Amino acid sequence: MTAGRGDDVAVYARQGFGAGLQLEPPFGLLIVDFVNGFADPELFGGGNIPDAIAATQPLLDVVRERNWPVAHTRIVYADDGADANVFSAKVPGLLRLTEDAHASAIVPQLAPQAGELVVRKNVPSAFFGTSLAPWLTQRGVRTLLIAGCVTSGCVRASVVDAMCWGFRPVVVADCVGDRALGPHEASLFDMAQKYAEVLDRAALMRRL
Q: Residue 2: is its pLDDT beyond 80?
A: no
pTM for this predicted structure: 0.95
pLDDT at 1: 46
Q: Residue 4: is its pLDDT beyond 70?
A: no
pLDDT band at residue 57 under the 50/70/90 scheme = very high
Q: How far, in Å, CA of 50 to CA of 119, rounded?
A: 22
Q: Which residue has the higher pLDDT, 208 or 190?
A: 190
pLDDT at 7: 77
DSSP 98: B
The mean pLDDT value for 171-198 works out to 98
Q: Which residue has the higher pLDDT, 58 or 3?
A: 58
Q: How far, in Å, CA of 116 to CA of 103, rounded?
A: 20
DSSP assignments along 152-170, one per residue: IIIIHHHHHHHHHTT-EEE
Q: What residue ranges define each of the domains in the chain, with the CATH number in brackets?
A: 23-76+103-207 (3.40.50.850)
pLDDT band at residue 59 under the 50/70/90 scheme = very high
Q: Residue 162: is its pLDDT beyond 90?
A: yes
The mean pLDDT value for 115-132 works out to 98
The mean predicted confidence, pLDDT, of the chain is: 96
Q: Residue 79: is its pLDDT beyond 70?
A: yes
Residues with catalytic roles: 154
The mean pLDDT value for 6-26 works out to 91
Q: Residue 30: is its pLDDT beyond 60?
A: yes
pLDDT at 110: 98
Q: Residue 69: is its pLDDT beyond 50?
A: yes
pLDDT at 5: 66
DSSP assignments along 36-88, one per residue: HHHH-TTTT--TTHHHHHHHHHHHHHHHHHTT--EEEEEE-B-TT-TT--HHH
Helix (H, G, I), strand (E, B) or coil at 123: coil
Q: What percent of the chain has pLDDT over 90?
A: 95
pLDDT band at residue 118 under the 50/70/90 scheme = very high
DSSP assignments along 2-47, one per residue: ----HHHHHHHHHTT-------PSSEEEEEE--BHHHH-TTTT--T
C-beta of residue 85 within 8 angstroms of C-beta of residue 123: yes
Q: Are strands 27-32 and 143-149 parallel, antiparallel or unpaired?
A: parallel
The mean pLDDT value for 175-202 works out to 98
